[in-house]
Structures are given as C-alpha cells and as structure tokens.
Structure 1
Amino acid sequence: MSNYRVSPGNEAASPLLRLEELRTYYPIRQGVLGRTSGYIKAVDGINLDISAGETLGLVGESGCGKSSIGRTMLRLEPAHSGRIFFEGQDITNLSQHRMKKVRTKLQIIFQDPYSSLNPRKRVGDLISEPILAHRLATRQEAEAEVIRLLDLVGLPRSAMSRHPHEFSGGQRQRIGIARALSLKPKLIVCDEPVSALDVSIQAQILNLFRDLQQELNLTYVFIAHGLGAVNYISTRIAVMYLGKIVEIGAKEDVFSDAKHPYTRSLLTANPITHPRMREQSRFVLEGDVPSPANPPQGCRFHSRCPYAQAKCQEEEPQLADTGMPAHQVACHFPIVEGS
C-alpha cells in the first residue's frame, strides 16, 4: 500500500480531494453471454491528496490510467474499490440525487473541444444549460452570467448566438472552459485540454488557465502525455505507469532530479536543442507497454527498465521518500544524481 499522504506546503491541512486505494477496473467480456473473463486494471490502488489552489500534473503514456483517474474522482466512472473524499465527505457511493449537489464543485474539460459540445445548440445555450439544470439562476440571470463568462475566457458577446462549428479549435476550447466555470467549481479536471490545438494556441490556453486559477482560486488536475505543458502550468507532478503512480513531487524536484527511470525517459523524450547534450541525455525505452489486463509481477516497469534486477521481478516497490520534501518514488533502485 502506498504511503503518500503529504499535502504540499502544509502537512496538517486537509486536502480538497483525497483518493484512498482507488481502483478502476473495466471488465473483459467474452462469449455470447458476455461473461467476464478478466479486468483491464486501468487504475490499481492509487493514494493521492490534492490541496486547494494547486495544479497537479498527471503524466504518462497512453493507456496508463490518467484519464480513468480523472473521470473516477469525478464519479463519471464507477470505482471498482477504494474511497474518494471531497472536502472531507466520502462521495464514493453517494446516490445520484446527493451527488448532484456535489457536481457543481467538480467539473471537467475534455480533450476534443468539438465533440464535447453539442453542434445543434448555440453557445449561449451550451453555457447556460448547467446553470439552469441546477436551478442556480433564472433565464435572465443566466444570460447575464453567460456574457460574463464569455468575457472571462476572451470571447465576444456575439458568440452567444453562434454554433460551435463557427469557431476555431482554440475558441471552442474557450467555450468548453466557460461551460465548466458556469457552476463556479472548486476543482477542474483538465483532460489533455491543449493536445488537439496548435502550439501557438496551446500557449494562449495555458495562460488562460493560469489567469483563471489566480482570479477564481481554482484547483486543477492537469492530464497530459508529455511534460512540456505540465511543466508550465503545474505546481506538482505525478507520473503514472500501468495504473500506478511511480513518482510524485514538486515540479522543480521532478524535473531537476527525477528518480524513476520511467520519469527520466519522459523527460528526455522532449527535443534537446544543444548538440553536446543530446547523446548523454538520451534515455530510450525498449519494448512495449505490458497489458493492463495482465500486468507483470513485481515492478510493472521492470520489463523495460535498463536498471532492473532480480528483486524488481519479485517485489512490487511502494512510494517512498527520496529525501526531498513530498518527493516520493516507487523504485527499488532509484536513479542517483549523475548516473
């Protein structure tokens, strides 16, 4: 069992959201009767605290369980086991009626800003719909709120009467952000919100996220494949591999002194411009990611790790302190600086 329980900055502070031994399994069904023959272990025993006002960057390869964590913590996916606490309340098994009261504080921004918006509805209706559904305002008040939100995300009032297809990708993502903000949430899961956008537009959206966080005191879980955008926006980074968190810590610690070989491989996957640094910084992984339906025994990364030893095949490593505040790694033989 992971022992990660440290909230950044203040160990005594209660986290805004806490995950305890969270597991999200998807059944594998076979045969005419669709009997369950196994499970895809997308999230497999995660313990995590998220403090109010921080941005937790969640990174890893496709299929490692990042999006499943985000959706499960919002109760958009059912948890196979474990517990989810929000503001001290256990929301794991709340009824739909009771969960509706919590949903205003928990929102999500999806990767594809086009498919997440109903193409038949006008922008004004898309943004006001959550407000009216939760009966937070009258139609007249909701219209005024839509105008305020459009201005907040950098769109003109005239956008209200237009449809999503009339906007660019970056503008559509701004609409998605405005819709997520319409219920005045405390925590927003950003599920790869800039990966489908041009690089120049990515920077604009990331700056918008930062400005909104400062102005509205938001908490983000920022999900991404690579470390570029995460480095810019996050205060803390959790690295996932095959359903497990393998390293977590302050952004500066993870980038300057990554301890897990998988984290090091993600860092060196970014383009290196300095010719003399290219060879010594290269850290190329070999082999494919094992199946999450049948993960390897011991350390799940050992089949691809250049430092793996016999112990790695037999014993699963747990998150342990590295000597830096709140910096933990799940590795029997963590990388020593300079190696």
Structure 2
Amino acid sequence: MSIPIAEKERFIPEPNMDKPLIEIKQLEKYYPIKKGIISRTVGHVKAVDGLNFEIYPGETLALVGESGCGKSTTGRSIVKLDEPTGGQIIFNGRDLSSLNGADLRKARLDLQIIFQDPYSSLNPRKRIGDLLAEALLAHKLASKEEAVKKVDDMLEIVGLTKSHKNRYPHEFSGGQRQRIGIARALILEPKLIVCDEPVSALDVSIQAQILNLLKDLQKKFRLTYLFIAHGLGAVKYISDRIAVMYLGKIVEIGKTEDIFKNPKHPYTQALLNAYPIPNPHFRNRERIVLAGDVPSPANPPKGCSFHTRCPIAKDICRQQTPELLGGSQSIACHFPLN
C-alpha cells in the first residue's frame, strides 16, 4: 500500500544500494561532571566513546548490550536529539553532525525514532489524530484535509482504526500506544528509523505482534532500522547484523547468524549464555559467567574496558586497548574465542 502524501523537499539524493545509507565515524557523546559553587568541570561521563559502524539500505542492525552501555544514547545522538560531542554521522552522503536549523529539520524527514516508553513520548492533552498530523502540518507537507486522510491511512496500516484518532493516549493499552509511536515515526516516510527498545516494556505476546509489524513495514516501505535492545530473542528474530556494545564501545559486530553460532568476544558469549535456549541438548553448554559490575563510564578501565570482568584477561588486556578488526565479523579482543 502506498502512502499518499505531498512531495517532500529532499536535501539529499536517493541512496545508492551499493553504499551504506548511514555511516557512523568516531561518534562520541560525553557528559560533563561538574562540582563546586562555580560548577567547574572535573571530568566526563563517556556514554559513547568512538563508535564506528554503518547500516545499509533495507537492513536491520541491532545494537545490544547491558543497561548503561550507551545504546540509547547512540540512537538519540544519531537523530540529534542529543548533540554529539564528536565524530561524524554521514547520512546518504552528507554529514549530519554539522547541520542545524532548517537543514536539520529537513534531515529529520528521513530520520525518525520509536521510543521505549510510548506513553511518555505522547502529549496526554492531545488526541491521537492531532499528534500524528502535527509533523505533516509543521513541515507543510499536507493540507488539513490531506493530513486527516493520511492519519486515517496510517492508523489502519499499523493495525488500529480510524475511530482511534479521536481518543487520548491514556485510553490505549501499551501495545496500542507503541503502534501509535510507530505510526508517528512512519507518517513522514523516513528512510531510517531508530527503534529504541520498542518492545522491552511490552508483554511477550504483544512483543511478537510489534516485531511482526516492524518486519512487515520494513518490506512494504523499504525501511532501514537501527534496532536497540537487550532482549536477544527479539534481536535474533528481526536483525540482519548485530553490534555488541560495552561501556560506550563496540566490541563485536557481524551477521546475526555468525554471532549466535560463533561468538568470538567473551562479553558476547556471556550475553548469549544468559539467553535461554528451549532445547535440553544445550543444557551443558560452555558458559562464561560475568563477575562484578559494569565499571563507571566516568572512569573506564585502562586497556580493554572489559578486562575487569573477563575470565581470560591477561597483562596486555590491562595495558593496551584492542582495535575492532576483522572482516564480516569484527572483534575488539586480544584473545578472541574459537
């Protein structure tokens, strides 16, 4: 089904399928630590610390890791809800990190985000129809009559009905509110959608419905996803590639099938060990159990940031930071697993 909408003013050309849709180069997001009466900066929380990855048109890259590793901050920085401290965001051949004002507003026509908690992202004083039409009217992409028709079509596309547009956010269930969040992200016909843990707050049965909806929409509208999650079941189902984050850095990235079958980083294997497998033959599988807590991003360990919890760490791990190296499956580890 095509979505009728007034022609948008694009500041970038259509993507080349042989090139990444978006390239992240040395992305950084630091938060200052201030103390004293004059709020003197005494350090920084390195939430995102030098990320490098790319996403190709039509694929889903999953970003996984423990809570606090910088996944959501990465997603918010890419769409510039949080201003990056450093690095480049090359979207369809143009650097977004230097854009602001009118140019940034045009860029956001092609970059949208779905939030983890849809209720907190919806204005409780506005009807759903007004919330969905707001972006169309703000960007002057449709008249009021066209916006109403567009909202009706979009509600049906995400599994709701036209009558829902007259209701308020508190009148919906969690799954319905997430469908509204998806509709709001999709209504501008973006090329890339950042899905910031879109199913983690939902019941398991509702999670499956939302994941199936996202996959169907991706095929129908040729969408590209950055899927942020910590539930590996959802990641295995929806993603083409996986990037594993730890303490603001990517420690392993590769195809989903390769990551699940042959994890090479000890942290990746530890995450997979926590993922339940409904098969008794894997009951005695080799496990890596993590000890201790995640170090503070305000004072990350020297060398490999994972060495304080790694069961195979050696002296070089405490002294030298490993680079992310490899081909289709890249690992940042001095002693990758077999």
* 1:126 aligns to 2:147 (yes or no): no
Give per-residue Cα distances to partners, 1:249-304, cap 9 Å, x unaligned: 01011010000000000101012444453343332100110010111111000010
In the other structure, the counterpart of 1:165 is: 170
Q: CA RMSD in A?
A: 1.3
> Any idea what SS the aligned residue of 2:308 has?
helix
> Any idea what SS the aligned residue of 2:73 has?
helix
Between the aligned partners of 1:203 and 1:273, the Cα distance in structure 2 is: 17
Note the residue ranges of structure 2 that are not aligned, 5 or more in a row. Answer: 1-15
Letter in structure 1 aligned against 2:237: Y
Between the aligned partners of 2:304 and 2:257, the Cα distance in structure 1 is: 26
Note the residue ranges of structure 1 that are not aligned, 5 or more in a row. Answer: 1-10
Give per-residue Cα distances to partners, 1:127-161, cap 9 Å, x unaligned: 00011111100000000000010010000110010
* 1:61 aligns to 2:63 (yes or no): no
In the other structure, the counterpart of 1:80 is: 85
Letter in structure 2 aligned against 1:54: E
Q: What TM-score does the superposition give when structure 2 sets the normalisation length?
A: 0.93
In the other structure, the counterpart of 1:326 is: 328
Residue identity over aligned pairs, in percent, reads 61
Deviates more, 1:264-273 or 1:59-68: 264-273
Letter in structure 2 aligned against 1:278: R
In the other structure, the counterpart of 2:51 is: 46
User: What are the within-5 Å matches in structure 2 for residues 109-120 of structure 1?
Assistant: 109-120=114-125
Does the 8 Å contact 1:226/1:266 carry over to 2?
no
Does the 8 Å contact 1:298/1:315 carry over to 2?
yes
In the other structure, the counterpart of 1:248 is: 253
In the other structure, the counterpart of 2:218 is: 213
Aligned length: 323
Between the aligned partners of 1:131 and 1:52, the Cα distance in structure 2 is: 24
Q: What TM-score does the superposition give when structure 1 sets the normalisation length?
A: 0.93
Between the aligned partners of 1:84 and 1:207, the Cα distance in structure 2 is: 29
User: What are the within-5 Å matches in structure 2 for residues 305-324 of structure 1?
Assistant: 305-321=310-326
Between the aligned partners of 1:159 and 1:288, the Cα distance in structure 2 is: 45
Does the 8 Å contact 2:200/2:231 carry over to 1?
no
Give per-residue Cα distances to partners, 1:26-54, cap 9 Å, x unaligned: 11111222221111001111111111111
Letter in structure 1 aligned against 2:78: M
User: What are the within-5 Å matches in structure 2 for residues 13-52 of structure 1?
Assistant: 13-52=18-57
Between the aligned partners of 1:19 and 1:274, the Cα distance in structure 2 is: 38
In the other structure, the counterpart of 2:296 is: 291
Between the aligned partners of 2:319 and 2:259, the Cα distance in structure 1 is: 27
